[in-house]
Amino acid sequence: MNANQTLPAVILALDTCTELCSAALLWSEGRESVAEDAPREHSQRLLPMIDGLLTHAKLSMADVGLIAYGRGPGSFTGIRICTSMTQGLALARDIPVVGISTLAAMAQKAIETANARYVISAIDARMGEIYWGCFEAQEGLAVLIGAEQVTAPEALVSPFNDAASVFACGSGFETYPDLILNIDNLTLLESVKYPDASAMLTLAVHEWYSGNATAVDELAPVYLRDTVAWKKLPGRA
């Protein structure tokens, strides 16, 4: 995709990678979003949520020029739902897509709602592990410092030891509350527990101008865990 192209007039964002199912819309009149905590009903709820947003904005899928999707990390089932929904919506009208990190989306939410400068995002990965990443606000955007990882909770290492304040967000910190105690300058931002499609919109605009939007056949989910970890789950092929 050409980074010099004009930003699409309508951007749709969607995410089902964690317990929260969310969708958001950015268009000329502003932005609108909806989110529901419904971990086992994502596939049933997402399309009606999208239809509701489009109807409220007096738009249709024919108006959408870019779809931003939660690429992970998160639950395997949730990521697969998100990517398959994105494929179905984008293929029908040849809409370009851009994957947004769920960890970055949480950090972006912390930046936008709490004026955070340094953020550590962590999602409960089950099996005694967490997905985590460290982010710094640069010109209002969550920028990854280092790499996103999946490790045991005690292996989380903050690069922000000299910062006066660092915000922690995500279900990983709720599941493992000792993480907050182990890092002196860490403050839990309880309002940001899961990634939300509303924060993905800001990141999607940046990714578009950076030339990172692709055709839907280049859609790339990020699991972090390899196939060996996937096979550990009962009933998974």
Judge if 48 and 66 occupy the same domain.
Answer: yes
Residue 3 lies in a domain: no
pLDDT per residue as tens digits for the range 130-158: 999 999 999 999 999 999 999 999 999 99
Judge if 115 and 226 occupy the same domain.
Answer: no
Q: Count how many residues are written for the chain.
A: 237
| CA angle centred on 82, ends 77 and 88, rounded to 5° | 120
Residues 17, 175: Cα–Cα separation, whole Å: 17
Residue 2 lies in a domain: no
Judge if 109 and 182 occupy the same domain.
Answer: yes
> Tokens 């738009």 identify what position?
59
Residue 107 lies in a domain: yes
Give how many domains the chain has, as a whole number: 2
Query: Binning pLDDT at 50, 70 and 90, where does residue 3 land?
Result: low
Q: Which CATH number do you get for residue 225?
A: 3.30.420.40
Query: Binning pLDDT at 50, 70 and 90, where does residue 183 land?
Result: confident
Q: Above 80 in pLDDT, residue 229?
A: no
Judge if 217 and 173 occupy the same domain.
Answer: no
Contact 212, 155 (CB under 8 A): no
Judge if 149 and 111 occupy the same domain.
Answer: yes
Residue 219 lies in a domain: yes
Cα 110 to Cα 8, 80, 141, 174, 201: the distances in Å are 26, 26, 10, 16, 14
Judge if 73 and 156 occupy the same domain.
Answer: no
Judge if 137 and 157 occupy the same domain.
Answer: yes
Residues 63, 65: Cα–Cα separation, whole Å: 6
Residue 236 lies in a domain: no
Judge if 93 and 165 occupy the same domain.
Answer: no
Instruction: Return the structure tokens found at 22.
Output: 């969310």
Question: In the prediction, which pLDDT does 226 show?
Answer: 66
Question: In the prediction, which pLDDT does 40 show?
Answer: 82
Residues 181, 220: Cα–Cα separation, whole Å: 35
Residue numbers of the domain that contains 115: 103-188
Contact 112, 141 (CB under 8 A): no
Average pLDDT of span 164-171: 96
Partners of 15 in the beta sheet?
A: 22
Contact 168, 187 (CB under 8 A): yes
Q: Which of 188, 203, 218 is the last residue of a domain?
A: 188
Give residues with Cβ within 8 angstroms of 188, minimum separation 6: 167, 168, 169, 173, 180
Please state whether the predicted TM-score (pTM) of the whole model is above 0.85: yes
Residues 90, 78: Cα–Cα separation, whole Å: 18
Contact 100, 48 (CB under 8 A): no
Q: Which of 224, 20, 232 is CA-nearest to residue 131? A: 224
Q: Which of 206, 197, 203, 166 is CA-nearest to residue 184? A: 166
Contact 70, 79 (CB under 8 A): yes
